[in-house]
Structure 1
Amino acid sequence: MSAVDAIIQIMARGGARDYGGERISQLAHGLQCAQLAERQGATPSLIVAALLHDIGHLLNADEWAAFQRGEDARHEERGADFLARHFGPEVSEPVRLHVAAKRYLTAVEPGYHDGLSPVSGRTLQLQGGPFSPAEAAAFAGAAHAQAAIAVRRWDEQGKDPAAPTPDLRHFAPYLLTALARPV
């Protein structure tokens, strides 16, 4: 099975699960985020990062239980490590940094915190809360920070249970283009 087929299978099988208390499935959320990236003319790698930014949730069957216990399961690290086996840092690092981007935006952008969904607000606290000024400055200078901020904005926007999206196979060409290793 190719890497693209394996990723599509993970998303299709696990993606039907509830998105951690949001009113949308994991798959629908990823598709909406990728569609937003596509509409904004993002690169194939950034579209893939938007599509797969929460794949770490699907790689850990205990994710929801950890959340219920008040623990951060660090889905961004699990997902980025998995994706780094197949894609370059243009995909894996925005995924790794998308939680840090939320912490950054809540620290530096007035009103950003107020626009978070209730679930995102709760997870923000589990993830360390808004960055300190020093943490925000360090993040702003990090490689892939701007890409992670873009993914984070699509992440928050892609939670409409009624939004139509293309199916998962629509994004297969982007997955193929972004692969670091030949299929």
Structure 2
Amino acid sequence: MKTVSFTQMKDGSKEDYQLLEQAEKPYLAMTAERILSELRRQGEDTLTGYKITRMDHGLQAATRARREGADIDWIIGALLHDIGDGLAPQNHDRFSAEVIRPFVRDEVAWVVEHHGIFQMLYYARHYGWDENARDRFKDHVHFKACSDFCERWDQSSFDPEFPTDTLESFEPLVREVFARKAYDPTVLQVGVSNGLPTI
């Protein structure tokens, strides 16, 4: 396999970087497969102290979103909102948001990025923390969407008896979203807030 000529990036030539651009295309095309692999790995990890696995939690949230008529971006946001748990448990919300940010509406990425602080409403008082910490975002255009996301799809998705859709049923959606052109402004729709589907 052909490799670059440099050992320091600053010494790379145009030909070196054209080689890397071509070599990276198949890797970028496999993003969806790596994400699905991580979800399967999370299916082997029971959430510490919970009754279900990390994967099951994401599947339940995504199932709820789909059954409420959410669009593909919301379904993927629900499915992957905790994808960062394995590598970044202390800031999994921001990590997860960065995984999806290039491929979904800004609204969905913002909600995933901030869902951790919004979820504190349900448990922070038990630790002596501020359960209303999310209020610092009360004037943000996506506040209601994040509040609704947490109430309807996240905090309610820890039930081992819930009839959850399979990972296989979500695989085509994951592949579709991660096949999009990264950072396409027509997809990102920065500043647009549609909210969750009305129930």
Task: Note closer, same or farther for the CA distance 1:142–1:174 as it changes in structure 2 (3 Å cut).
Answer: farther
Partner residue of 2:117? 100
Partner amino acid, structure 2, of 1:144: H
Partner amino acid, structure 2, of 1:101: F
Partner residue of 1:161? 160
* Residue 51 of structure 1 pairs with residue 103 of structure 2: no
Task: Note closer, same or farther for the CA distance 1:15–1:142 as it changes in structure 2 (3 Å cut).
Answer: farther
Consecutive unaligned residues in structure 1, runs of 5 or more: 64-72, 107-112, 114-120
Task: Note closer, same or farther for the CA distance 1:81–1:4 as it changes in structure 2 (3 Å cut).
Answer: same
Partner amino acid, structure 2, of 1:139: F
Look up the SS of the partner of 1:181 in the other structure: coil
More helix by share: 1
Look up the SS of the partner of 1:157 in the other structure: coil
Shift of 1:95: 0.8
1:1-183 counterparts in 2 under 5 A?
A: 2-60=30-88, 63=89, 73-103=90-120, 106=121, 113=122, 121=123, 125=127, 128-131=129-132, 136=135, 138-153=136-151, 154-179=153-178, 181-182=180-181
Task: Note closer, same or farther for the CA distance 1:25–1:18 as it changes in structure 2 (3 Å cut).
Answer: same
Higher relative contact order (CA 8 A, sep 6+): 1
Contact 1:124 1:130 in 2 (8 A): no
Query: Larger Rg: 1 or 2?
Result: 2
Supply the RMSD in Å over aligned alpha carbons. Answer: 2.7
Task: Note closer, same or farther for the CA distance 1:142–1:122 as it changes in structure 2 (3 Å cut).
Answer: closer
Cα distance in 2 for residues equivalent to 1:149 and 1:86: 22
Shift of 1:180: 7.5
Shift of 1:9: 0.8
Contact 1:37 1:46 in 2 (8 A): yes
Contact 2:65 2:75 in 1 (8 A): yes
Task: Note closer, same or farther for the CA distance 1:123–1:32 as it changes in structure 2 (3 Å cut).
Answer: farther
Consecutive unaligned residues in structure 2, runs of 5 or more: 1-28, 183-199
Shift of 1:146: 2.5
The percentage of counterpart residues that share the same residue type is 28
